Amino acid sequence: MSRTLPNIPIVCGEEEIFDSADGSLPAYDPATGETIAQFACAGSREVEKAVAAARQAFEAGPWRKMRPFERGRVMQRIADRIMARREELARMECRDSGKPLRDAYWEVDCAARNFEFYGGAADKLQGSSIPLGNGWMDWTIREPVGVSLHIVPWNYPFQLIARGVAPALAAGCAVIIKPSEETPTTAYEFVKICREAGLPPGQVNLVPGRGSIAGDLLARHPGVDQITFTGSVATGQKVLAAAATHTIPCSMELGGKSPQILFADANMDAALDIIAGAAFLHCGQVCNAGTRLLVERRVHNQVVDVLQAKARALKLGKGLDDPGMGPLINKAQKSKVLSYYELASKEGDLLLGSELPSDPALKEGNFVRPALVANASNAARVAREEIFGPILTIIPFDNVAQAIEIANDSPFGLVAGVHTKNIDVAMQMSEKLRVGQVWINSFWVGLDVEFPFGGFKQSGFGREKGLEALTAYQQIKNVCVSFGA
C-alpha cells in the first residue's frame, strides 16, 4: 500500500527528504483541531546527512570565504523576502501556533529585523590589539564557532529561528534547525527564503522530527560545535547532558515566572493595560509573560477588579480572526492548565477561568478562559511554577524591600516589570532584581532586537538579541608575536 508523503521535508544541503525511515507526523491547528501539515521525522540516517551537509558548508563552502559585507547583503535580502511574504507567513503562523493575527505580524516583522540588524553587524566583528611592550605584537581574531544547532520551541517559532540563526550566519557559522513537533510549517518557508536569497546550500539545514530522537541525536552529535536551545528547563537539562558528551558550548533560553511589580503611585490606567497584556498575550504561552503580579496591598482589591473586567472582556477565537486571545497549543497543555486552575482555587481566590468556553465554534479547539488568582502567597505552586497558560497570580506586598524579596524568591530570573512614578524606587528595583531584563513602566517594547535578552537562575544562560548574541557564535583566537627587539 502506498503511503502519502509529508509536505514538509528534512532539508540536508540541496537534498530534500520527504520519505524518511522514521515516517512523518501531523501538525494541527490548535483552534480547530484540523491537520494543517505533515512533516517528515528525522532519524539517525537523516541526522547524519544534515550534520554532514552543515560541516561541508562550514569547512569548504563559500560563506566563510565571502567578504563579511557580502554576507550582510545576503542577509538583508533574506529580511526583504521575509517582509515581501509577511501576510502569508503571518497567516501560516496563526494556524500553526494559534496566536492572534496581530501577534503573528509582529513575529514576522521581528524575524526580518533580526536579519537587518545582524546583516548590518556582519562586517563589524572586530578583534582587539593588546599592548605587550617593545618587541611584541598581540591581537585577537573572532572566528565562527562552526556548526551551530538551533533547537526551537513552538510559541514563536518563526521569530525564534531568526533570532538565533541571524547572528550565527553573521558570524560565519553553518546552521541546523530543529523545529518543534507542534509548529514545523514556517521553518520550512524560512529555509526556502534563505535559499531564494542566495544563501549557499548546506548553510541552513532543517531537521524536523521528535525531540527525543532527532533533537537528542543532534545534540550529542560530535559534528555539532555549539547549541542554541530555547525551550523548557526540563528539556534544556537533557540537552545540556547531551552537549556534555562532547563538551560544546550552549546558549540556554528557558522558562520564567516573571514578576510585574505595581506600586500605588503608578499611572494605573497605562500600567493595568500593560499588566493584562503581559499576562494574557498568546494565551500566556510566552517565556517572559508577566505571570506574577506583585501589587501594593492598599490597591490590591481595586486592581483585581479592573483586571477581572479586562480578562472577562477578552474574546476567544481562532488566530486568523485576530481575537482577544487564541487557544493553547495542544490538548495536553489544556489539561495541564486546567489542573493548575483547580490547584489555584485551593491556593488563592480563583477569579474566572473555572468554566470552559461554551461557544460551539470553539468546541474543537484548545480554548480556556483567562484566570486570576488573587491574594495568593508567593510560596504557592501557582506562584512558583511556569504554567504556560493565561493565569495571573496576584500577590500583595507592603513596602519596597518586601517587593524585592518576593520578586527574587523564584527559581526563575528572566525579566521583571516595575510600575511606579518614583524614580528612586525604580532605580533601586532595577539594581536589586535578579533577572536578565527590567522594564520600568513598560513590559515588552516591540521590534527590539537591539538589546540583549536572557535569564538568570533557571531561566538559562547566554544572551540572545543585541550585539551580545554574537559572542555565542564566535571563538576568540589570540595571536602573539615576538619580533625580537
Report the catalytic residues. Answer: 253, 287
Nearer to ligand NAD, 121 or 239 (CB): 239
Separation CA 447–CA 107 (nearest Å) = 9
Separation CA 174–CA 202 (nearest Å) = 7
Q: Shortest gap between Cβ of 268 and ligand NAD (angstroms)?
A: 29
Q: Which residues pair with 438 in a beta bridge?
A: 416
Residue holding cell 595571536? 479
Judged by CB under 6 A, the number of residues near ligand NAD is 27
Nearer to ligand NAD, 178 or 292 (CB): 178
Options 205, 226, 230, 420; binder of ligand NAD; rule CB under 6 A = 230
Nearer to ligand NAD, 22 or 80 (CB): 22
Residue 390 C-beta-side C-alpha neighbours within 13 Å: 31
Separation CA 157–CA 138 (nearest Å) = 42
Options 9, 200, 201, 215; binder of ligand NAD; rule CB under 6 A = 215
Site for ligand NAD contains 281 (CB under 6 A): no
x/- letters, 115..134, toward ligand NAD (CB under 6 A): --------------------
Residue nearest to ligand NAD (CB): 211
Separation CA 369–CA 12 (nearest Å) = 42
Burial of 332 (C-beta count, 10 Å sphere; 0-12/13-18/19+): exposed
Options 180, 228, 420, 474; binder of ligand NAD; rule CB under 6 A = 180
Q: Which residues pair with 227 in a beta bridge?
A: 149, 250
Q: What is the layout of strands, in order, in the sheet containing 226-230?
A: 15-17, 10-12, 204-206, 174-178, 147-151, 226-230, 250-253, 460-461
Separation CA 481–CA 280 (nearest Å) = 58
Q: Which three cell numbers stand for residue 439?
A: 522594564
Options 38, 56, 76, 232; binder of ligand NAD; rule CB under 6 A = 232
Site for ligand NAD contains 339 (CB under 6 A): no
- 80-88, 152-160, 311-319, 425-433 -> range binding ligand NAD (CB under 6 A): 152-160
Q: Shortest gap between Cβ of 62 and ligand NAD (angstroms)?
A: 29
Residue ranges in 372-391 that form contacts with ligand NAD under rule CB under 6 A: 386, 388
Site for ligand NAD contains 254 (CB under 6 A): yes
Nearer to ligand NAD, 144 or 389 (CB): 389
